[in-house]
Amino acid sequence: MARQRYIVEIGTGADLHGGDVTKAAQKAIKDAVSHSCLCGLFDIMNFTDPNQMYIELKIACPHPETIKREEVLRAVPFGTVDLKVVGGGLSVRGLYLPELGEGDTIVVAVAALTVYIDK
């Protein structure tokens, strides 16, 4: 069987208080997923099980070595996921409010989800 690419979706996410790249990445994934409807796979391709999808997930964020991979992977609702984390995104000084997080750093992450199906 050969894998065929069907969907590429991009999302962005930010942690506004504390500079947590894992939180920013999770938000970026949710953003990308919320822009996608898989009805074509189900209605046209007669696809029945979303867990048979293979998903390449690429996250670009500041300080990629600090990302908590398992937490990021839990943000993808189904499928087999291959995660790659690279440097990128954005980091900027924000506002320190201890009730909302540690520090005053805003971080932005970008997620690219590419969905493949075996044909």
Q: pLDDT band at 43, cuts 50/70/90?
A: confident
Higher pLDDT residue, 52 or 56? 56
Q: What is the number of other CB atoms lying within 10 angstroms of the CB of residue 112? A: 17
pLDDT score at 39: 82
Encoded tokens for 46: 């007669």
At residue 42, does pLDDT exceed 90?
Answer: no
Q: What is the pTM of this model?
A: 0.91
Domain residue limits, the chain: 3-118
Give CATH superfamily name and number for 3-118.
Tubulin/FtsZ, C-terminal domain (3.30.1330.20)
Compute the mean pLDDT over every residue in the chain, rounded to the nearest whole number. 92
Average pLDDT over residues 42-46: 80
Question: Token digits for 115?
Answer: 């969905």
pLDDT digits (tens, 9 = 90+) for 59-112: 999 999 999 999 999 999 999 999 999 999 999 999 888 887 788 999 999 999
